């Protein structure tokens, strides 16, 4: 189920699902620790003897955000209960406080006495063993805690302050589902403490005259000590929870204004998605610099793991997009993370006597993440890496400098990272072919020598040469430049098929033999993005045509698959479905069309692809990794950080190219534009 509404401040992250149930709650890092573990935190309403949990089955829900802010805008109505509920949720941009505001409107001509119930299924430090929850009479609140993690919950109506109605008890143990069941008769037991596997419910009793509305608040403060959460609670009471929501809406609008771009003539829906993507990206980036791929625990059902890791590749693409959008401080945090935290945690240097490369993925604290890439193949020890992840961080550092021209900002990254990483790219090559040595592809599914990886190595070495020249390391600059040229020539010898008139996906190895892999793969478009190829080079045009012709999903949904025969999250195979449509792949094709454009008319051929992405987004603006080829239903995780980062980059590509070509031709925005299978110049 999509995580429709993420909110956060880089330390605390909460995400609501499609039923407006809070399902992810991370602290003290984005991506680590998840104190919800994907279990729903419910909200319920009791009125005149009828009880209803808030979800799409029982309520008409509209889930969105306040414009240009990380504050939710949710409305709910019920077929039988004469109430309209309006919600505003936010996490304070500075303090670790979750605030939830509920406006309750009596839609009837008689007095009503509804009761609201806020449930919390907290699994402190990512497990439900040994937790405690108790009623704190000092502050009239509930407190969950274990070890160095404390969660204080309180509430207020227009006439009362503090928790007066609550229930505390056992969940998922000896047949007990949880204390949330206690709310369904409208009464809460008031048990003062429970330990083990526990949850809690806070109730608020309201009284509404005919057609009257009232506002109430619930908040949770999070910290490492009782005194810390108590101080934050006092701050909420002092400032007022409603005022805190207002100040956060104002803060995020000002934050979003830094990314203002000139998109005159583009459909408003695309411009709104660009702004929302920047805000969604902010929720997925830890204050320590880790750009987390996704924080959606529903994916655990496939392999008991999540996407809550930092892949250097994804992070580099996102960092470059943020730099271009005006958020250089976030990009620098990521580059610092890779230079110091990630490299500092690498353990492969001492084991494999190799240095300079980044591992498969990292936890938000910089430690090495889980991996399925083997260290052994055919009795030979090998590097369990994807070389593009190292190369693209160098590329991101150079782009950071190009945009900001701040040599002092990138100086700390040069010797500790760029020199080491570029020297690794220089050495990690086959003596006979000149190509990079085998590593895993960007999809993490096969080991070999891949065109996409080779293109990123070329881009990384060119970037390293420019950075070395910047710091007067002229010998290094020459070596990196020469290597980039040699690898380009080697790629054209070994990874281009003259018979097919296009580039191969790569070279695979079987029984000691090299096999050219001619599978059409969307990542081949990286030859333009990273490898420096002219998009109108005949070889590149034919490669892009093959990508469109073979990977476009020829159903009503459309979109571009990753590669021929992709079976990840695959639905029933179909001749018109080479794989599920991915947002990033479709946007890569848009970026290619933009790069190839030599007129406003040819530039506009990218618009249908940009619109396709906008049409896949939820009303809140959240984008997934991929969608079902028949229904458009979200598959895998959402929001996917990589999808939002690529959307930002593609939109900026379009705006910059339009300016270069002399401006946008204003025309009415069409709901759907036909997408052909030829790339026209």
Specify the long-range contacts of residues 479-487, CB closer than 8 Å, at least 24 apart: 479/426, 480/422, 480/426, 483/425, 483/426, 483/429, 484/458, 486/434, 487/429, 487/434, 487/435, 487/436, 487/454, 487/457, 487/458, 487/461
DSSP label of 41: B
Q: How many domains does the chain have?
A: 3
Stretches in the chain below the pLDDT threshold 50 = 665-681
Q: What is the CA radius of gyration of the chain?
A: 27
CATH number, domain of 136, equals 2.70.98.10
Distance CA 16, CA 24 (A): 7
337 and 308 fall within a common domain: yes
Does one domain contain both 252 and 277? no
Question: Residue 649, exposed/middle/buried by CB under 10 A (0-12, 13-18, 19+)?
Answer: buried
- pLDDT tens profile 93-149: 999 999 999 999 999 999 999 999 999 999 999 999 999 999 999 999 999 999 999
Identify whether 532 is part of a domain: no
From CA 562, how far away is CA 585, in angstroms rounded?
Answer: 6
Q: Please state, as a whole number, how many other Cβ atoms lie within 10 Å of the Cβ of residue 330.
A: 21
% of the chain at pLDDT higher than 70: 95
Query: Interior CA angle at 424 toward 422 and 425, to 5°?
Result: 65
| Residue 52 lies inside a defined structural domain of this protein | yes
pLDDT at 294: 97
Q: Which domain holds residue 651?
A: 260-287+542-681
Q: Is the peptide bond prior to 33 cis by the omega test (within 30 degrees of 0)?
A: yes
Are 508 and 517 in contact, with CB atoms under 8 Å apart?
Answer: yes
How far is residue 92's CA from residue 8's CA, in Å, rounded to a whole number?
8
Residue 667 confidence (pLDDT):
40
DSSP 670: P
Within this chain, do residues 161 and 59 fall inside the same structural domain, yes or no?
Answer: yes
Same domain flag for 308 and 267:
no
Do 203 and 283 lie in a common domain? no
Residues 448 and 562 in one domain: no
Determine the pLDDT at residue 350: 54
Q: What is the pLDDT of residue 377?
A: 85
Helix (H, G, I), strand (E, B) or coil at 290: coil
Residue 303 structure tokens: 């392999």
493 plus 553 within the same structural domain: no
Residue 293, in any domain of the structure: no
641-to-5, 61, 257 alpha-carbon distances in Å: 14, 25, 20
Please spell the DSSP secondary structure of 579-619, one letter per residue.
S--BHHHHHHHHHHHHHH--SHHHHGGGHHHHHHHHHHS-T
214 lies in the same domain as 313: no
pLDDT at 432: 93
In this structure, is residue 15 part of a structural domain? yes
Statement to judge: residues 266 and 252 lie in one domain: no
Beta strand 439-440 pairing with 213-223: unpaired
* Same domain (yes/no): 477, 605: no
**Considering Cα of 226, then 227, then 230, then 231, what sign does the dihedral take?**
negative
Claim to verify: residue 266 and residue 282 sit in the same structural domain: yes
Q: Do residues 343 and 279 share a domain?
A: no
Residue 439, domain CATH:
1.50.10.10
């Amino acid at each position: 189920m999509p995580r429709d509404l993420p909110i956060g401040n880089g330390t605390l992250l909460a995400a609501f699902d499609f039923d407006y149930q809070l399902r992810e709650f991370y602290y003290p890092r984005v991506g680590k620790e998840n104190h919800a573990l994907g279990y729903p935190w419910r909200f319920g309403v009791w009125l005149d003897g009828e009880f209803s949990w808030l979800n799409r089955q029982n309520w008409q829900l509209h889930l969105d955000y306040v414009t240009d802010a990380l504050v939710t805008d949710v409305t709910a109505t019920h077929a039988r209960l004469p109430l309209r509920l309006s919600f505003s949720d936010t996490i304070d941009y500075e303090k670790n406080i979750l605030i939830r505001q509920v406006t309750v409107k009596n839609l009837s001509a008689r007095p009503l006495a509804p009761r609201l119930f806020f449930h919390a299924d907290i699994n402190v430090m990512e497990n439900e063993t040994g937790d405690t929850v108790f009623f704190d009479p000092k502050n009239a609140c509930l407190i969950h805690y274990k070890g160095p993690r404390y969660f204080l919950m309180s509430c207020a109506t227009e006439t009362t302050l503090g928790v007066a109605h609550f229930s505390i008890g056992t969940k998922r143990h000896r047949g007990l589902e949880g204390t949330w069941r206690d709310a369904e008769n409208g009464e809460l037991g008031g048990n003062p403490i429970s330990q083990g596997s526990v949850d809690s419910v806070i109730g608020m009793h309201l009284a509404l005259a005919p057609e009257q509305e009232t506002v109430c608040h619930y908040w949770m403060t999070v910290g490492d000590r009782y005194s810390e959460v108590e101080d934050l609670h006092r701050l909420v009471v002092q400032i007022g929870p409603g005022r805190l929501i207002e100040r956060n809406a104002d803060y995020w609008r000002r934050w979003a204004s830094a990314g203002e771009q000139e998109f005159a003539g583009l459909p408003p829906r695309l411009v709104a998605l660009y702004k929302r993507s920047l805000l969604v990206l902010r929720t997925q980036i830890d204050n320590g610099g880790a750009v987390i791929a996704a924080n959606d625990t529903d994916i655990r059902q496939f392999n008991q793991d999540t996407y809550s890791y930092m892949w250097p590749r994804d992070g580099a693409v996102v960092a470059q997009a943020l730099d271009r959008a005006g958020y250089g401080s976030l990009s620098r945090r990521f580059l610092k993370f890779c230079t110091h935290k990630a490299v500092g945690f690498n353990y492969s240097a001492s084991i494999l006597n190799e240095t300079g490369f980044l591992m498969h993925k990292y936890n938000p604290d910089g430690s090495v993440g889980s991996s399925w890439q083997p260290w052994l193949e055919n009795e030979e020890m090998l590097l369990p890496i994807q070389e593009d992840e190292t190369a693209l961080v160098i590329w991101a550092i150079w782009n950071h400098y190009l945009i900001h021209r701040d040599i002092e900002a990138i100086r700390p990254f040069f010797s500790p990272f760029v020199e080491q990483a570029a020297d690794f790219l220089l050495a990690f090559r086959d003596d006979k072919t000149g190509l990079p040595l085998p590593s895993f592809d960007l999809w993490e599914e096969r080991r070999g020598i891949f065109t996409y990886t080779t293109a990123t190595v070329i881009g990384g070495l060119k970037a390293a040469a420019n950075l070395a020249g910047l710091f007067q390391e002229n010998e290094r600059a020459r070596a990196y430049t020469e290597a980039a040229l040699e690898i380009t020539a080697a790629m054209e010898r070994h990874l281009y098929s003259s018979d097919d008139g296009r580039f191969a996906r790569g070279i695979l190895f079987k029984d000691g033999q090299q096999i050219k892999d001619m599978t059409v793969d969307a990542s081949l478009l990286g030859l333009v993005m990273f490898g420096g190829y002219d998009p109108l080079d005949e070889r590149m045009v034919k490669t892009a045509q093959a990508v469109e012709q073979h990977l476009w999903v020829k159903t009503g949904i459309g979109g571009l698959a990753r590669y021929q025969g992709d079976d990840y999250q695959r639905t029933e195979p179909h001749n018109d479905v080479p794989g599920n449509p991915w947002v990033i792949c479709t946007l890569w094709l848009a970026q290619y069309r933009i790069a190839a454009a030599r007129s406003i008319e040819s530039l506009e051929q990218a618009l249908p692809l940009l619109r396709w992405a906008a049409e896949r987004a939820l009303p809140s603006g959240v984008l997934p990794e991929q969608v079902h080829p028949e229904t458009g239903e979200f598959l895998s995780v959402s929001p996917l950080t990589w999808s939002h980062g690529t959307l930002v980059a593609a939109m900026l590509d379009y705006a910059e190219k339009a300016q270069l070509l002399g401006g946008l031709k204003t025309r009415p925005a069409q709901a759907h534009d036909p997408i052909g299978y030829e790339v026209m110049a």
